Structure 1
Amino acid sequence: MALMETHYYSFSLGSNITLNVFVPTPGSSEEITQINHTQKYDYEAGLPVLYLLHGAYGDAFSWVRYSNIDRYAQERGMVVVMASAENSFYQDLKSGKKYKTFFTEELPVFIQSVFPVTKDREKTYIAGFSMGGYGAWYLGLSRPDLYAKAASMSGALDIAGLYESATIQENENNPFSWEDSFGDPKKLSGSKYDLFALYDQDVKGGCVPKLYQAVGTEDFLYQSNLHVKEVLEAKHADLIYKEDKGGHDWNFWDKYIQDILDWLLQ
């Protein structure tokens, strides 16, 4: 596996940025044959690609530091792209930085131009945890033409319900600027930021990414995730839901990213 730390100027963000990109390569433990090469490392045809998002306080190095994503992606022959989004909820911020534009318009073009990845929607995926779980579904449902599948772990998926909860509003350590990300957060329900509204919009448009949702039973977002599951099941969504013992932590995310990678490649 080759880990490439890439620096370039982003017009969407108005600054120099850092990307971490894993590209699978034949390893020393593999028998390098033409058959093996064609199956796992067909760079000319383009490898499947996963845009992997971080949570609050995280950055492009979160998955590199705290998980074994490089080994998991290597085993499955998948390119993984990681970029920073601050605590933006992956939105075009009112203060200027356009993270949604960056992730859905600028970044894919750059990656497809520089790295051996597919341009095929059916092999292009997005996933994340916590804030990045919301981000993966938000970007996936906002641009269903780009991603075939979107996966969330411990996701802050019911964004309107979370804002309305006393836990969020009374938390002095809340890292988010709701107004910067969403404008008037009291109007989130039914808005362009609401995942339920985006899902309904995609159904009407006839193009909906497949969804994956995992959460730990000890996670503070567990009940919120159950509500999201129930709403989407009532809408007959193509949803894989999994829960397990665990909290809002890397033990859970490192475990379930492996299951997600297998689901993506089915």
Structure 2
Amino acid sequence: MKKLSIFIALLLLSASDALAASVDTVTTFSQSMQKQIKAVVIKPDSYQQQKRFPVVYLLHGYSGNYANWVKAAPIIKTLADQYQLIIVCPDGNFGSWYFDSPKVDKSRYETYVATELVNWIDNNYRTIPNRDNRAITGLSMGGHGALYLAFRHQDTYSIAGSMSGGVDFRPFPLNWEIAKYLGSYAENKEAWDKNTVIEQINLLTPKSLSLIIQCGTEDFFYNVNVKLHEKLTYNNIPHTFITNPGAHNWDYWREAVQYQLLFMSARFTR
């Protein structure tokens, strides 16, 4: 009887593992940059049931890479199961800020993430390939990237979020290699204005995107997030804005991503 119980327990454990989210590391090709780029793709437990799924693109921060989220916040695998989502974590290079650089020819990460990668994922995975079932979010540089791309590609995404996002990087002209990709702020102010999130609000119309923006009160990006919230409010752009105690670190992002994916899942369902 004891051996039978152990056998049943092992069977249940195996079944549980079989139903868990699976993680693929894929290599894609960027035509615009003429290079191969990796991404992590998390498939929910029911992926083998021939269903189709909404997709959330989850962007890493400065100095990060495609593997950061799955290594530092493995809870996203559980959340993919819980909300029945495909989660895609692309590589945004060390510090691309997810725009097409006017200074570095091989840094065209707006084109890659918003067009080339989306097309590749839709062609290679069982997605629901329309904007209503596609969202994007990220942390820090990736928070900037998620809102920047969503504001500029509203035909691609219907939902966008940001966690501790660098949503206005102009107060930090010497930081994070931004000048490498845009030129110095003193000599290229127009390019900096053109590529920072807070100056993209004019592209929005009310309710064109569902937006969730989070930032900890001890974060060095807190003030620029408050200003973004105020400008969105002034322009009558509905959005969810969450501030709570927290700094610019993984403790904050591991919790924040749970709110982000809950928000997004609710809107996919609706």
Q: TM-score, normalised by structure 1?
A: 0.84
Give 1:115 deviation, angstroms.
0.5
Residue number in structure 2 paired with 1:32: none
- Whether 1:92 aligns to 2:112 is no
From 32, 35, 40, the equivalent of 1:20 is 40
1:102 matched residue in structure 2: 112
1:43: how far off?
4.0
Distance 1:9 1:136 in 2: 21
Matched-pair contact (CA < 8 Å) for 1:145–1:207: no
Unmatched tracts of structure 1, length 5 or more: 27-39
Q: CA 1:207–1:96 in 2, change beyond 3 Å: closer, same or farther?
A: farther
1:30 equivalent in structure 2: none
Instruction: Summarize the alignment of residues 44-123 of structure 1 with structure 2, pairs less than 5 Å apart.
Output: 44=51, 46-67=52-73, 68-86=75-93, 87-93=95-101, 94-97=103-106, 98-123=108-133
- Of 135, 141, 144, which residue of structure 2 is paired with 1:125? 135
Task: Confirm or deny: 8 A CA contact 1:41 1:47 kept in the other structure.
Answer: no
Q: What SS does structure 2 have at the residue aligned with 1:247? A: coil
Moved more, 235-244 or 9-18: 9-18
Q: State the number of aligned residues.
A: 240
Q: Given the two structures, how large is their TM-score scaled by the length of structure 2?
A: 0.82
Aligned partner letter, 1:83? P
Of the three residues 155, 158, 167, the one matched with 1:157 is 167
Question: 1:245 and 1:52 mapped to 2: Cα distance?
Answer: 23
Computing the radius of gyration from Cα coordinates, the structure with the larger value is: 2
Identity %: 28
Contact 2:207 2:238 in 1 (8 A): no
After superposition, the C-alpha distances for 1:156-188 in whole angstroms (9 at most, x for unaligned) are: 10233x24xxxx43xxxx331425247854225
**Per-residue deviation, residues 97-121 of structure 1 (Å, max 9, x unmatched):** 2111111111111000001111121
Aligned pairs for 1:164-175 within 5 A: 168-169=173-174, 174-175=175-176
SS at match of 1:192: helix
Q: Aligned partner of 1:230: which letter?
A: E
Change in CA separation of 1:181 and 1:3 when aligned onto 2, cut-off 3 Å: farther
Structure 2: stretches of 5+ with no match in the other structure: 1-20
Aligned partner of 1:33 in structure 2 is: none
Q: Deviations over 1:193-219 (max 9, x none)?
A: 24344221232xx77312111011111
- 8 Å Cα contact 1:49/1:80 also seen in 2: yes
CA–CA distance in 2 between the matches of 1:197 and 1:221? Answer: 16
Query: 2:64 corresponds to which letter in structure 1?
Result: G
Q: Secondary structure at the match of 1:159?
A: coil
Do the aligned residues in 2 keep the contact of 1:48 with 1:123 (CA within 8 Å)? yes
The more displaced of 238-247 and 6-15 is 6-15
**Alpha carbons 2:28, 2:120 under 8 Å: kept:** no
Partner Cα distance (2:157, 2:195) in 1: 18
Amino acid in structure 1 at the alignment position of 2:240: I
1:223 positional shift: 1.6
Correspondence for 2:195: 193
Instruction: Please say if 1:213 is aligned against 2:216.
Output: no
1:10 Cα deviation after fit: 2.3
1: CA distance, partners of 2:156 / 2:49: 21
Deviations 1:50-80 (A, max 9, x none): 0110100001001011002111112111000
- The code of the aligned residue for 1:187 comes to E
Q: Structure 1 residues 185 and 135 mapped into 2: Cα distance closer, same or farther (>3 Å)?
A: farther
2:242 alignment partner in structure 1: 242
Contact 2:213 2:242 in 1 (8 A): yes
The residue identity in structure 1 corresponding to 2:197 is: L
- What is the SS of the residue equivalent to 2:195? coil
